[in-house]
Amino acid sequence: GTQPLPPKPWSGRGRPPSRVRRQAEHAPVSAKELAQALPEDAWHMVTWREGSKASLASRFAAVRVRPAHRDYWRSVPHAEEWFLIEWPDGEVEPTKYWLSTLPGKTKLAGLVDQAKMRWRIERDYQELKQEIGLGHYEGRGWRGFHHHATLAIAAYGFLVSERSLIPPSAPRLAPLLKPPALSEGYRPRGAAAAPRTPRRQLHRHHPD
């Protein structure tokens, strides 16, 4: 398919046309038709994470498209987006499709990683509810839930960082978990202030 045509030229009478047009040669195609029309060299094997028994990998392709959903009500076409397709070997047709607004220079591996992030998010949410107690909140106010969720997520983040230091995760993830640098003049909450000299001019933090 190709993008819709611009609005009709104004005839000089009535309201100027403002909606894009569709014609036979400017009609959208289905996701399946577009995927099946891609050449063989558009497909690549991508591994996105380690599974319990083996690495998880499949065949993917990505192209830039303009979504056609109700574009006939618009004055300009939709902006370009990534169209990611998964077509595993042995399947007769593609099995999954995604639309993504990630930047146009995003690599295929990055698109796949973001698309497959859903499984990790669902697992994290399940562990937050079952192991940390995110689902134990019984209040009705937003502030109370916000505080409860913040503490639960902070605790879960600490556990994940500790777990990543244990093999087999340690060799791959440990270099990525560097402690953040402390800002100049940082003082832990509750710590006493640094002693000051009787004369301000002799204090080491004095601007002069």
Q: How many domains does the chain have?
A: 2
- The last residue of a domain, from among 115, 145, 164: 115
Residue 18 lies in a domain: no
- In this structure, are 91 and 126 located in the same domain? no
Q: How far apart are CA 56 and CA 45, in angstroms?
A: 10
> Could you tell me what percent of the chain has a pLDDT over 70?
79
Residue 192 lies in a domain: no
pLDDT, tens digit (0-9, with 9 covering 90-100), for 47-106: 988 777 788 899 999 999 888 877 766 777 778 899 999 999 989 999 999 999 999 999
Predicted confidence at residue 64, as pLDDT, reads 93
Burial 137-175 (b: 16+ CB within 10 A, else e): eeeeeeeeeeebeeebeeebeeeeeeeeeeeeeeeeeee
- The last residue of a domain, from among 93, 115, 137: 115
- In this structure, are 134 and 59 located in the same domain? no
Residue 11 lies in a domain: no
Task: Select the more confidently predicted residue: 42 or 201.
Answer: 42
Q: How far apart are CA 97 and CA 105, in angstroms?
A: 19
Cα separation values, 70 from 19, 25, 73, 185, Å: 11, 18, 6, 56
- The last residue of a domain, from among 68, 83, 115: 115
31 HSE (CA, 13 A, CB side): 17
Residue 127 lies in a domain: yes
Residue 143 lies in a domain: yes
- In this structure, are 38 and 62 located in the same domain? yes
For range 191-204, the mean pLDDT: 59
Q: Residues 91, 59: contact at Cβ < 8 Å? A: no
Query: Which residue range(s) make up the domain with 91?
Result: 31-115
Structure tokens at 181: 């640098």
Computed from CA positions of residues 59, 117, 108, 82, in that sequence, does the dihedral angle turn out positive or negative? Answer: positive
Check: pTM over 0.85? Answer yes or no.
Answer: no
Between CA 58 and CA 70, with CA 64 as vertex, the angle to 5 degrees is: 110
Residue 201 lies in a domain: no
pLDDT, tens digit (0-9, with 9 covering 90-100), for 132-163: 888 888 888 889 989 999 999 999 989 888 88
Residue 202 lies in a domain: no
- In this structure, are 154 and 132 located in the same domain? yes
- In this structure, are 105 and 136 located in the same domain? no
